[in-house]
Amino acid sequence: MFAEGWCPRVGDARLLRQNLCVSETDLPPEGPKTTVLVTVTGRDKPGVTSLLFAVLSQHSVSLLDVEQVVIRGRLILGVLIAQVRNPATLTAALVEAMHGVDMQVDMTIGANGVHRPVPTHAVVILGSPVTAQAFSAISAELAAQRANIDSIRGVADYPITGLELLVTATGGETDTRLRTALAEVAAREQVDVAVERAGLARRAKRLIVFDVDSTLIQGEVIEMLAAHAGVEDEVRAVTEAAMRGELDFAESLRRRVETLAGLDVSVIDKVADAIELTPGARTTIRTLRRLGYHCGVVSGGFRQVIEPLAHDLELDFVLANTLEVVDGKLTGGVTGDIVDRAGKAAALRRFAAEAGVPMEQTVAVGDGANDIDMLNAAGLGLAFNAKPALREVADAALSHPYLDAVLFILGVTREEVEAADARDGIRRRVPLD
């Protein structure tokens, strides 16, 4: 909160009460005006803050800064006061008052150079659990990277633990340096660590686009369709060939869809009904919509399967491939342009243009190699339980199976999510395994 200043010790023995901690040399007895930082700590109770300010108001002082936090019932209240002519008198009065309500007072006289730190980066740690060892390793790495931790807050206690550190990094290449160094620690300590630039840009995101298969929903739609056609093995063989790099996405899609030729169109509805959202998907989209985000999906899967879901989630944008249907049967072909890796990035750009959102204010979330271009194009690219090739290009990689982790990366807390839900009568915490 406050920069450190010169901290002379209170020389007046009458002031050296048990609950007063002041350091260094004697106070200026009467003399030039100086700033004073008052820090009050102790068990929180009603009336402490009002009592402190009642005493201050009797001394007609002006405030430069005030900050108060209550951590598990313990109050920490800091007040930076300007132009105090007689700090000793003020100290005596504050000690008297605070002692009366069983609080500790720390006075720093001459706390000049008031610089509330302006953090350069937000570092979000997500884990289940976040161990003390992991936190220790991350804080040690931040110190090694000359990044000072300005504040820490808990952003989530469900379904995973989330901690957000605002840090001030010095030296060059801070983005790359912090991200690379912390990614190594995160992998070693089995937590997720996201590094973002702090400030307005972080809070200015306005459009989010999700991949569908294995990101917004569990599993792959083409495999569900193939199961109905009894061609799972054929489809899996093509998928594996594509993963080996023998086929590009468009070719692999064509070959897989060919295996569905002759399937009754009613299968589409059956598969659409069987889709299971990724845990946290509904919460994430509901919350982002409340924040005014435009929300969309772009998929190498199929429009006919995704559209009911997109309608249910009230999404603003949907782009996917279209299965060709003739006389109530799938023909084994797709109509229109195939949505592939390049097509997904192009869709993100088109959605952003239509919503009037600059690309740096967009977020893309995906899991597969065909999401690489889209994540690269987005202002913030998040890899969700992703293949290594995508994790490498992502701004942050999430490795827990809960989509609401996206909210915590964006600076939304679990508390805020649940408070908003409670106002709408939604109260739901699903027990976790």
Smallest gap from residue 211 Cβ to Mg ion (A): 4
Smallest gap from residue 214 Cβ to Mg ion (A): 4
Candidates 161, 214, 278, 287; binder of Mg ion (CB under 5 A) is 214
Q: What is the DSSP letter of 15?
A: G
Distance CA 394, CA 24 (A): 49
Binders in 7-46 for Mg ion, by CB under 5 A: none
Binding mask 365-394 for Mg ion (x = CB under 5 A): --xx--------------------------
CA-angle at 217, arms to 213 and 218, nearest 5°: 85
Binding mask 349-368 for Mg ion (x = CB under 5 A): ------------------xx
First to last CA, the chain: 40
CA-angle at 126, arms to 180 and 120, nearest 5°: 50
Binding mask 154-193 for Mg ion (x = CB under 5 A): ----------------------------------------
Contact 162, 396 (CB under 8 A): no
301 binds Mg ion (CB under 5 A): no
Output 110 or 368, the one with its CB closest to Mg ion. 368
CA distances from 421 to 207, 239, 281, 414, 425 (A): 21, 40, 14, 10, 6
How many alpha carbons lie under 13 Å from residue 295 in its C-beta half-sphere?
A: 22
Q: Is residue 32 exposed (0-12), middle (13-18) or buried (19+ Cβ within 10 Å)? A: exposed
Tell me which of 106, 157, 175, 211 is the catalytic residue. Answer: 211
Output 343 or 368, the one with its CB closest to Mg ion. 368
From the list 2-10, 213-221, 321-329, 388-396, the region that binds Mg ion by CB under 5 A is 213-221
Nearest to 175 by CA among 155, 153, 201, 154: 201
Output 213 or 404, the one with its CB closest to Mg ion. 213
Decide if 211 is catalytic: yes
Output 44 or 213, the one with its CB closest to Mg ion. 213
Output 17 or 387, the one with its CB closest to Mg ion. 387
Which residues are near Mg ion by CB under 5 A?
211, 213-214, 367-368
Among all residues, which ones are annotated catalytic?
A: 211, 213
